[in-house]
C-alpha cells in the first residue's frame, strides 16, 4: 500500500542518513586523530614453519574514536585513502614502527622484521620513496628490517609501479604482495615484480580444508612461489587443522589467531610463541 511504501522509503532514508553522518564523523575525526593521540599501532607475530619463533611482525593500525569507540581499519582506511589522509597517517605508522624496533632492541627482544601496510595512494605519492629512505636512515635502522606490504591494486599500473618498487629494493627494504589471490591477479606479476614475499590471503586458508579443489589452489600458489624464489606467508591461520595441512610445505611462514592476535607492542616477547604451539 501507499502507506507502507512511504514508511519503507523513510526507513531507507534514515539508514542512508545514518551512514552518511557516520562517514562525516569518521572523516572529521580522522583529521584530528593523530594530534589527539587516538591512534596506535598493534603488532601481530609472523611465525616460522615450526611455529617456534617469530620471523617478524605486521604493524596494524588501531583507532579509538572519542564517541564511536574502536573503529576497524577496514572501515577507516578507505576513508583515509579517499581523503588522502592516509599519506600523513601512513608516515606516522612508519615512524612508530621505527621507534618500536629501537625500543624492542633496547629491551633485548629480537624482532628482525616489521611488515608495514602501504596503501596504493601512499605508494604512488611523489615523495613516498624519499620519505621511507629518510625515516629509516634518521633512525639508523637496517633497511632490511622493513617489509613493505603492497596489494595487487598497486601494481595494476606496472609501468609506474616497477620503477618505484625497484627504488624501494635499492634502499634495502623487502617487498611483499598482500592479499594474494583476491585482486586482479595475474601470474605475470610474480615474474616481473621485484617481490620477496607472497602473502596468501586468509580467504584461501579458511577454505583449505573444505575441498580438494581449495587445496589444489593453495598448493599451487605455494609451489609457484617457491619456484620463483619467493617466501610465502599464510595469513589467517586459525586452527590446528589448517596448520597441519600447511605444514607439509617447507618454505612457509604463518600469521593468524592460532598463534596470536595483533597486540600492543609491550606484550610481544621473543619467546611467546613457544608457549602457544605444541
Given the rule CB under 6 A, which residues bind ligand C2E?
44, 59-61, 72-74, 77, 86, 90, 93, 117, 119, 178-179, 202, 236-238, 255-257, 262
| Among Ca ion, ligand C2E, none, partner that 253 touches (CB below 5 to 8 angstroms by kind) | none
Tell me which residues touch Ca ion (CB under 5 A): 117, 149, 178-179, 235
| Nearer residue to ligand C2E within complex by CB, 152 or 179 | 179
Which CA distances in Å does 275 have to 31, 53, 169, 247, 260?
A: 41, 11, 35, 18, 11
| Nearer residue to Ca ion within complex by CB, 25 or 60 | 60
Which CA distances in Å does 121 have to 51, 87, 154, 161, 183?
A: 34, 8, 8, 12, 16
Kindly tell me the burial class for residue 158, based on how many C-beta atoms sit within 10 Å of its own C-beta (0-12, 13-18, 19 or more): middle
Q: How far is the CB of 2 from ligand C2E (least distance, A)?
A: 44
Spatial distance between the Cα atoms of 20 and 86, rounded to a whole number of angstroms: 20
Q: How far is the CB of 201 from ligand C2E (least distance, A)?
A: 7
Q: How far is the CB of 117 from Ca ion (least distance, A)?
A: 5
| Among ligand C2E, Ca ion, none, partner that 238 touches (CB below 5 to 8 angstroms by kind) | ligand C2E
DSSP letter at 42?
E
Q: How far is the CB of 226 from ligand C2E (least distance, A)?
A: 22
| Nearer residue to ligand C2E within complex by CB, 15 or 157 | 157
End-to-end CA distance of the chain: 63
| Among Ca ion, ligand C2E, none, partner that 79 touches (CB below 5 to 8 angstroms by kind) | none
| Nearer residue to Ca ion within complex by CB, 53 or 262 | 262
Q: How far is the CB of 116 from ligand C2E (least distance, A)?
A: 7
Q: How far is the CB of 94 from ligand C2E (least distance, A)?
A: 9
Which CA distances in Å does 266 have to 48, 181, 270?
A: 21, 33, 11
| Among ligand C2E, Ca ion, none, partner that 90 touches (CB below 5 to 8 angstroms by kind) | ligand C2E
| Nearer residue to ligand C2E within complex by CB, 141 or 233 | 233
Q: How far is the CB of 272 from Ca ion (least distance, A)?
A: 20
Q: Quick check: 46 and 255 in contact, CB under 8 A?
A: yes
Torsion angle, CA of 256/231/275/116, rounded to 10 degrees? -60
Spatial distance between the Cα atoms of 165 and 53, rounded to a whole number of angstroms: 29
- Sign of the C-alpha dihedral, residues 273, 59, 234, 222? negative
| Among Ca ion, ligand C2E, none, partner that 214 touches (CB below 5 to 8 angstroms by kind) | none
Residue in the block written with cell 603492497: 150
| Among ligand C2E, Ca ion, none, partner that 44 touches (CB below 5 to 8 angstroms by kind) | ligand C2E
Q: Quick check: 113 and 101 in contact, CB under 8 A?
A: no
Amino acid at each position: 500500500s501507499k502507506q507502507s511504501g512511504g514508511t519503507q522509503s523513510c526507513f531507507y532514508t534514515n539508514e542512508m542518513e545514518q551512514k552518511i553522518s557516520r562517514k562525516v564523523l569518521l572523516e572529521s575525526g580522522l583529521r584530528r586523530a593523530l594530534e589527539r593521540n587516538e591512534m596506535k599501532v598493534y603488532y601481530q607475530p609472523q611465525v616460522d614453519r615450526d611455529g617456534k619463533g617469530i620471523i617478524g611482525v605486521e604493524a596494524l593500525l588501531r583507532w579509538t574514536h572519542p564517541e564511536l569507540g574502536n573503529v576497524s581499519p577496514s572501515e577507516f582506511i578507505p576513508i583515509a585513502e579517499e581523503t588522502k589522509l592516509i599519506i600523513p597517517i601512513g608516515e606516522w605508522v612508519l615512524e612508530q614502527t621505527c621507534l618500536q624496533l629501537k625500543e624492542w632492541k633496547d629491551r633485548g627482544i629480537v624482532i628482525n622484521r616489521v611488515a608495514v601496510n602501504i596503501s596504493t595512494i601512499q605508494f604512488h605519492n611523489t615523495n613516498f620513496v624519499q620519505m621511507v629512505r629518510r625515516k629509516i636512515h634518521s633512525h639508523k635502522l637496517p633497511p632490511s628490517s622493513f617489509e613493505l606490504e603492497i596489494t595487487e591494486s598497486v601494481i595494476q599500473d606496472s609501468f609506474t609501479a616497477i620503477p618505484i618498487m625497484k627504488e624501494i629494493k635499492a634502499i634495502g627494504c623487502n617487498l611483499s604482495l598482500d592479499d594474494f589471490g583476491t585482486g586482479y591477479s595475474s601470474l605475470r606479476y610474480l615474474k616481473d615484480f621485484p617481490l620477496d614475499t607472497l602473502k596468501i590471503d586468509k580467504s584461501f586458508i579458511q577454505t583449505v580444508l573444505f575441498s580438494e579443489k581449495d587445496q589444489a589452489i593453495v598448493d599451487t600458489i605455494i609451489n609457484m612461489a617457491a619456484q620463483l624464489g619467493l617466501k610465502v606467508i599464510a595469513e589467517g591461520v586459525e586452527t590446528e587443522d589448517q596448520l597441519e595441512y600447511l605444514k607439509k610445505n617447507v618454505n612457509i611462514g604463518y600469521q593468524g589467531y592460532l598463534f596470536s592476535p595483533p597486540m600492543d607492542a609491550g606484550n610481544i616477547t621473543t619467546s611467546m610463541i613457544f608457549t602457544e604451539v605444541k
